């Protein structure tokens, strides 16, 4: 008895905890401060022009949603985040090659995505020359997302939520390649890692151990000419003589330039967050930093070294290698790896809403007589008829005018009673019927406008002179009823008077009258 | 009195003339350029069978190319330059018609344009309109536009489906595939608002396969990156000519 009571209490408690966690969904909402770019101390000027695509909270959130959405792949199974995981600095942990659609393997190790606005080119071969154009490569690669750009845009265009989001950000409900790619860039450009222990040591906010400091010293002497601080890359392409991968046969930069000198050259990667972005090298062949250090330590004795800078690489002893690794681990930026801004927004439907500040000011109550005045006004609006034709437009205009007046009043003074009154009017039968009737009957200037298409159709069967009379009889549920009398010869050749009934409906799109039925 | 009147009248006259002339010189003329695709002397019909100079049969399934930096040249060197790009697509009639609305009046001697997209537009990120990456003329893995696409089938081609495909691009030296085309008018063309110019340009797909290098479908059925692109680019240099309307 006591046990079960405890169990219930415990599960209730955990539920409360769970809900309090879910409710604390503040990471869904991004503020202006969250997307404001602050150049990290000591970093150079970014190469990406943020002024041309300045992140806004809505644009950033849209880009993030796209980044985490498998809709970008052919069979809706692979998202950018499939191969770029935040906890691995947006590389993919433990995968030499990542999985694409249909269980296919890509041909290169997914690189970390960080500090992209300081990159002059993308991909390990530097084939892509602009951040905005980079996402097209994995989206269209048959081994990765296997999609094409027009098809992605079509899928997004068919998704009401995306249409609403794009409209919110770009004031345009047509989703263009430009807006699509710019949104992704707004997310990608803010993936900035500059708050590791190393950074805090440089800015004198933290200390490093003696091993780590020795590692930094060795690093600066032997590695930093390519892995230059503070970005830990010099953005160059180099051959580190690891030899061609016999399976994928990737010749690197050569594929882009076709220059023999560029054979087996790959972009020098940044070493920030290197601890979590394993495996290493363009094909992910090394699973540990120890293996990497081992490779460079033996490199000067190797015969096929091409890059002169590596020819002078000293042989590092075990302790020296350990110290360098200890230093490399200080480049892990926990704040970046756990930054809530970059997390998966989840599958919850996000509808953009401006953040409403709760005001403590007491709103004065509105005068009852104003409410009463609006109500009488609303009730007194009647549908006028001129020459048998109901005047729907002026009727709707009068109703609109009243709701607009309420809206104006609301702007001056926030008041729930007024707000309720407005929505009550908009949902009222009177208002809805006016719209419905207008769609069915339209607003003809004269009866002739409705009768005309009937006569026109009749002219296909009988002579114009045989049409004796036409009359607008009234309205049915479906539309106007028109009666036309005409002379017709019967089988025995005698002329008889016939009548024909037309159901005529207004077509609000073409703005004309169409015949629904004739009998 | 008389001289004063003369001065007034003549000054009015001069002012009048100035107004007329200034008005006249600021007039803009319309120039329309129509591209018409041919194979040799026959108007290109997609899916019709043609022969190359080696006698190999082929059909064309797709023919597209970028035209840009259009320049109308005057004898006095005051040229009209337009920096927009146009994608001429055999499948889309509208794409073959270019209209320039604000061409200054004058005597024009020739038209110049490039086939391809200059390096600036290949290096500055997202582009719109004719250069939108959704137009199927964009290399995602090696940033840059495909300048000219000629695709089809030839029994001589040994690739699967007997396909031949020439996707020519590349804006970086040494494989810059943009080519400048100059077409001289027969005598000066006097262009004015009242006398708009309309040009008909023949684009001969057979020339892409002919001079200076004869393309053998059995040996070179496919060019889809900067390798061998220069061969085809040199071939399309002479594919354009002016037709008298």
Cβ neighbours of residue A42 closer than 8 Å, sequence gap 6 or more: A202, A203, A230
Using a CB–CB cutoff of 8 Å, tell me whether B177 touches chain A: no
Residue A95: other Cβ atoms inside 10 A: 18
Distance CA A316, CA A294 (A): 8
**Whole-number pLDDT of residue A459:** 82
Distance CA A251, CA A244 (A): 7
Helices (H), A116-209: 136-140, 149-157, 160-170, 177-189, 197-202
- Cβ contact A136–B138 (<8 Å): yes
- In degrees and rounded to multiples of 5, residue B166 shows phi and psi of -120, 105
- A83 pLDDT exceeds 80? yes
Domain ranges in chain B are: 28-243
Distance CA A510, CA A493 (A): 41
**Whole-number pLDDT of residue A361:** 54
Chain B nearest-CA residue for A179: B126
From B123, B126, B134, residue closest to A153, measured CB to CB:
B134
Which residue reads 């530097």 in tokens?
A: A126
Top pLDDT among A116 and A76 is at: A116
Distance CA A156, CA B90 (A): 29
**Whole-number pLDDT of residue A358:** 53
Which of B123, B142, B171 best probes binding to A when mutated, by most A CB atoms within 10 angstroms?
B142
Q: Which fold has domain A24-193?
A: Cytochrome Bc1 Complex; Chain D, domain 2 (1.10.760)
Q: Which tens digit of pLDDT belongs to each residue from A130-168?
A: 999 999 999 999 889 989 999 999 999 999 889 999 999
Identical topology for domains A24-193 and A197-332? yes
Question: Residue A143's closest CA among A103, A179, A202, A170?
Answer: A103
Largest CA distance in chain A: 120
Residue A24: other Cβ atoms inside 10 A: 8
Using a CB–CB cutoff of 8 Å, tell me whether B161 touches chain A: no
**Whole-number pLDDT of residue B32:** 94
State whether residue A144 is helix, strand or coil.
coil
Question: Residue A395's closest CA among A405, A385, A404?
Answer: A385
Average pLDDT on A284-293 reads: 92
On the 0-12 / 13-18 / 19+ scale of CB atoms within 10 A, A241 is middle
Average pLDDT on A55-78 reads: 92
SS3 content of chain A, % helix, strand, coil (to 5): 45, 10, 45
Å between B166 CA and nearest CA of chain A: 18
**Is this prediction's ipTM beyond 0.90?**
no
Q: Which tens digit of pLDDT belongs to each residue from A11-37?
A: 555 544 444 444 333 335 788 889 999
Distance CA A75, CA A138 (A): 14
Distance CA A405, CA A388 (A): 31
Strand-strand pairing, B222-223 and B163-169: parallel
Angle between helices A57-67 and A177-189 (to 10 degrees): 100
- B125 pLDDT exceeds 70? yes
- A2 pLDDT exceeds 80? no
Domain ranges in chain A are: 24-193, 197-332, 368-441, 447-518
From B126, B175, B227, residue closest to A181, measured CB to CB:
B126
Note if the pTM is more than 0.80.
no
- Cβ contact B143–A258 (<8 Å): no
Q: Which CATH class is domain A197-332?
A: mainly alpha
Residue A450: other Cβ atoms inside 10 A: 23
Q: How confident is the model at residue A207 (pLDDT cuts 50, 70, 90)?
A: very high
């Amino acid at each position: 008895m006591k046990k079960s009571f405890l169990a219930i209490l415990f599960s209730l408690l955990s539920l409360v905890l769970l809900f309090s966690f879910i409710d604390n969904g503040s990471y869904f909402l991004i503020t202006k401060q969250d997307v404001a770019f602050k150049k990290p101390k000591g970093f150079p000027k970014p190469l990406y022009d943020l002024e041309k695509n300045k992140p806004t909270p809505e644009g950033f959130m849209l880009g993030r949603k796209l980044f985490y959405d498998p809709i970008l792949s052919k069979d809706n199974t692979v998202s950018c985040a499939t191969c770029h995981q935040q906890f691995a600095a947006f590389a993919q942990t433990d995968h030499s090659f990542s999985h694409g659609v249909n269980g296919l393997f890509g041909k290169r190790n997914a690189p970390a995505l960080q500090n992209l606005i300081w990159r002059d080119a993308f991909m390990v071969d530097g084939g892509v020359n602009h951040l905005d154009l980079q996402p097209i490569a994995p989206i269209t690669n048959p081994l990765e997302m296997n999609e094409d750009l027009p098809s992605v845009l079509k899928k997004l265009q068919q998704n009401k939520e995306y249409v609403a989001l794009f409209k919110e950000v770009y004031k345009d409900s047509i989703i263009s390649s430009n807006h699509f790619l710019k949104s992704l860039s707004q997310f990608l450009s803010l993936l900035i890692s500059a708050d590791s222990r190393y950074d805090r040591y440089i800015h004198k906010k933290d200390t490093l151990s003696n091993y780590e400091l020795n590692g930094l010293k060795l690093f600066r002497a032997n590695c930093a000419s390519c892995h230059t601080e503070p970005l830990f890359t010099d953005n160059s392409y180099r051959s580190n003589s690891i030899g061609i991968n016999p399976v994928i046969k990737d010749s690197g930069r050569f594929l882009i330039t076709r220059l023999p000198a560029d054979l087996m050259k790959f972009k020098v990667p940044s070493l920030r967050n290197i601890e979590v972005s394993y495996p290493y090298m363009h094909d992910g062949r090394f699973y540990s930093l120890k293996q990497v250090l081992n490779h460079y330590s033996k490199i000067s004795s190797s015969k096929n070294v091409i890059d002169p800078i590596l020819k002078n690489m000293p042989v590092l002893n075990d302790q020296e290698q350990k110290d360098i690794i200890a230093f490399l681990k200080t480049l892990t930026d926990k704040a970046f790896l756990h930054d809530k801004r970059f997390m998966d927004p989840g599958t919850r439907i996000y509808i953009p809403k401006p953040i409403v500040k709760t005001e403590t000011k007491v709103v004065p109550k509105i005068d009852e007589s104003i409410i009463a005045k609006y109500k009488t006004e609303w009730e007194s609006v009647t549908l006028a008829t001129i020459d048998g034709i109901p005047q729907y437009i002026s009727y709707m205009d009068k109703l609109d005018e009243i709701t607009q007046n309420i809206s104006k009043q609301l702007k001056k003074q926030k008041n729930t009673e007024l707000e309720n009154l407005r929505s009550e009017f908009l949902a009222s039968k009177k208002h809805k019927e006016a719209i419905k009737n207008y769609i069915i009957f339209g607003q003809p200037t004269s009866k002739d406008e409705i009768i005309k298409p009937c006569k026109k159709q009749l002219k296909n069967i009988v002579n114009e002179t045989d049409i004796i009379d036409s009359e607008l009889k009234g309205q049915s549920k479906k539309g106007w009823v028109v009666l036309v009398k005409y002379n017709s010869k019967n089988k025995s050749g005698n002329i008889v008077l016939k009548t024909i009934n037309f159901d005529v409906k207004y077509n609000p799109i073409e703005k004309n009258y169409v015949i629904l039925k004739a009998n | 009195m008389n001289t004063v009147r003369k001065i007034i009248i003549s000054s009015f006259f001069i002012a009048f003339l100035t107004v007329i002339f200034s008005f006249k010189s600021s007039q803009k003329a319309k120039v329309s350029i129509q591209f018409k695709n041919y194979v040799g002397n026959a108007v290109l019909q997609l899916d019709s069978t043609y022969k190359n100079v080696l006698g190999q049969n082929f059909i064309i399934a797709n023919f597209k190319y970028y035209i840009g930096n259009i320049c109308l040249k005057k004898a006095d060197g005051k040229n009209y330059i337009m920096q927009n790009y146009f994608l001429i697509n055999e499948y889309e009639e509208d794409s073959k018609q270019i209209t320039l609305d604000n061409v200054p009046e004058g005597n024009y001697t020739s038209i110049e344009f490039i086939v391809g997209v200059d390096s600036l537009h290949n290096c500055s990120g997202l582009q719109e309109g004719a250069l939108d990456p959704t137009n199927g003329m964009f290399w995602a893995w090696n940033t840059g536009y495909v300048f000219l696409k000629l695709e089809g089938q030839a029994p001589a081609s040994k690739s699967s489906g007997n396909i031949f495909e020439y996707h020519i691009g590349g804006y970086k030296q040494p494989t810059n595939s943009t080519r400048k085309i100059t077409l001289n008018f027969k005598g000066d063309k006097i262009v004015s608002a009242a006398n708009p110019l309309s040009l008909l340009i023949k684009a001969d797909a057979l020339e892409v396969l002919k001079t200076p290098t004869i393309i053998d479908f059995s040996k070179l059925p496919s060019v889809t990156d900067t390798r061998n692109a220069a061969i085809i680019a040199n071939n399309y240099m002479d594919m354009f000519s002016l037709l008298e309307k």
